[in-house]
Amino acid sequence: MEKDNTKNKRTLIVFLAIYILIQIIGINNISLWDIDEGRYLIPAKNAIEYGKWIVPEYNGEPRITKPPLVTWIIAISSIILNGGVVKEWTARVPIIFLSIITLLITYITARKKFDEKVATLAVIILASCNIFLYYSRSPITDMTLLTFTVISIYILFIGFEEKNYNCIILSSIPMTLGFLTKGPPGIIVPVMVILCYYLIVKLETDKRTLIYLGISILISTLLSLIWPIKVGIKEFFREVILEENIRRFSSNYSWESSTFYYIPNLLIKYSPWSAFLPIILAKFREEKDKEALFFISWFFTIFIFFSLSVTKRSSYILASYPALSIITAYSIENIKNKNLIELSKKMSIVLSALFILYTTIKLILWESYNYAIISFIIGIVLISILVKSLNKKSFPFILSILFTINYILVYQPLADRSYHSAKICAERIKKVIDTKPTYMHGSERANELYYLDMRELKKYKPGVKGFVITRGQKNLEGEILFCCRYEESELCLFRKE
């Protein structure tokens, strides 16, 4: 038993070392992707250059729709690593670090209930699922919130299981940090997860435990209110509580999705490990195991809660994936029907092949034919390795590493250069406009503004002189200099004398 534990710990260390190496190699191989990334890099830049630390500034105006913790993290990272110059890689370093912390907390939580083998496999699964890879490299709020949510859930779980009231009070720290990352979900989600589990497992109410939980919630709420008091309670309530949370949950019908939105979404975002979901169903048909009840409760609490929300996004249920990875790992290691495992392995290869095929077809559609050939050739090599590894015990390890390599070192850089990047287009405009007066006709996007390196891009008004950037508008009065495309956008630059 001790020999197996040592082997599993060695596997975990090797896996994390390779994961970190891949992340480091790929840290600067893509520009800003997510539409919100610039909304954190620009305020971080303004904090360093203009002292806008308490009230973040974006495009010349205060930005209080999101709390400032991620902005602070990016700014501090840029000061330490790059002399205060905010770059894509300086923004990604702390996010990658937080992803590693999340993996370690997932390991510790799984080991608390199960053994080293399940805990190690849970990390291998979580680290390489589609959605985790995306947010592990995206300098926005989601990975930061996930880290503090998982820490909060773990500490509360220990507090409730062991009647450790100090732990329950201690949970107020990561919950406060979660609040300063994205507002109320930083407190609501971990409390909701632990209470739902408590109600399922404990029939008799432990009033003292609940009192200490109430104290922890009160402490985290009071600590979280320090920043809102600085920026103005009314503005904070209107922008963060009402607009960003209550209305998005209850009445934002412009983003309305089906109640069942997260079912197909999870199948895609959990790939290639969604191929192993039938094993979970089969395992719990064989026997009902109370040891896994906490993780099942954790997963479904978040999944159902956000399914009730009018607004739905993949990132909203990100905190359910550590629980799902643990359930998957436990089911793989304990299911009696080994034939189903072999079938799931084959399906995971099929899903990996479909992802490579999807990448290749998209590159062809973007007319990046050379990149499509590269993607296809590398894909064939990776799939061949997976097929040869099918009967090996190390198959999950190999699948995880190869999928991570393909996602970070092949798919993202090729897609970035072919389609996703606003960088090439914005920097071309920047060379022409230099420091001359420039205006935006239509809505600006944060990533464009970051690469234009402008503190403020004012709205276009008839009669202004200088340069005007338009989004797909080609009939504006003035001399059109050029147009350039990325994603679904076409930016055109005009000169108006």
- Complete DSSP assignment for 419-487: II-SHHHHHHHHHHHTTS-EEEES---HHHHHHHT-S--EEP-TT--EEEEEES----SSEEEEEEEET
Same domain? For 322 and 351 the reply is: no
The answer to whether 141 and 316 are in contact (CB under 8 A) is: no
Residue 185: CB partners within 8 Å, gap ≥ 6? 145, 149, 178, 245
Give the other-Cβ count within 10 Å of 254's Cβ.
7
Nearest by Cα to 491 from 448, 438, 456: 448
Tokens of 266: 């999870």
Same domain? For 387 and 409 the reply is: yes
Tokens of 49: 């250059």
- pTM of this prediction? 0.95
Q: In whole angstroms, give the CA distance from residue 294 to residue 314.
A: 23
Same domain? For 268 and 361 the reply is: no
The answer to whether 68 and 91 are in contact (CB under 8 A) is: no
Same domain? For 378 and 307 the reply is: no
Nearest by Cα to 231 from 70, 52, 75: 52
pLDDT at position 486: 85
Q: In whole angstroms, give the CA distance from residue 469 to residue 213.
A: 53
Q: In whole angstroms, give the CA distance from residue 293 to residue 333.
A: 16
Same domain? For 307 and 323 the reply is: yes
Q: Which amino acid is at 470?
A: T
Q: What is the pLDDT along the chain (497 residues), one digit of tens a residue?
A: 566 678 889 999 999 999 999 999 989 889 998 889 999 999 999 999 999 999 999 999 999 999 999 999 999 999 999 999 999 999 999 999 999 999 999 999 999 999 999 999 999 999 999 999 999 999 999 999 999 999 999 999 999 988 899 999 999 999 999 999 999 999 999 999 999 998 887 645 578 889 999 999 999 999 999 999 988 999 899 988 988 888 888 876 556 678 899 999 999 999 999 999 999 988 888 777 778 899 999 999 999 999 999 889 999 999 999 999 999 999 999 888 889 999 999 999 999 999 999 999 999 988 889 999 999 999 999 999 999 999 999 999 999 999 999 999 999 999 988 887 889 899 999 999 988 999 999 888 899 999 999 999 999 988 889 999 998 788 888 889 999 888 878 899 999 87
Judged by DSSP in three states, 27 sits in coil
Tokens of 157: 């779980």
Looking at 292, 308, 334, the residue that finishes a domain is 334
Same domain? For 202 and 270 the reply is: yes
Nearest by Cα to 471 from 453, 455, 494: 494
Same domain? For 314 and 394 the reply is: no
Question: How far from the centroid of its chain's Cα atoms is residue 93's Cα?
Answer: 14
Q: Total domain count for the chain?
A: 3
Same domain? For 67 and 177 the reply is: yes
pLDDT at position 217: 97
pLDDT at position 202: 66
Task: Write out the H or E segment, with its range, that includes residue 24.
Answer: helix 2-25
Same domain? For 167 and 90 the reply is: yes
pLDDT at position 2: 64
Looking at 419, 442, 465, the residue that finishes a domain is 419
Tokens of 136: 């592990």
Same domain? For 97 and 64 the reply is: yes
pLDDT at position 419: 81
Same domain? For 30 and 139 the reply is: yes
Looking at 374, 391, 419, the residue that finishes a domain is 419
Full residue range of the structural domain in which residue 300 is found? 2-334
Same domain? For 98 and 133 the reply is: yes
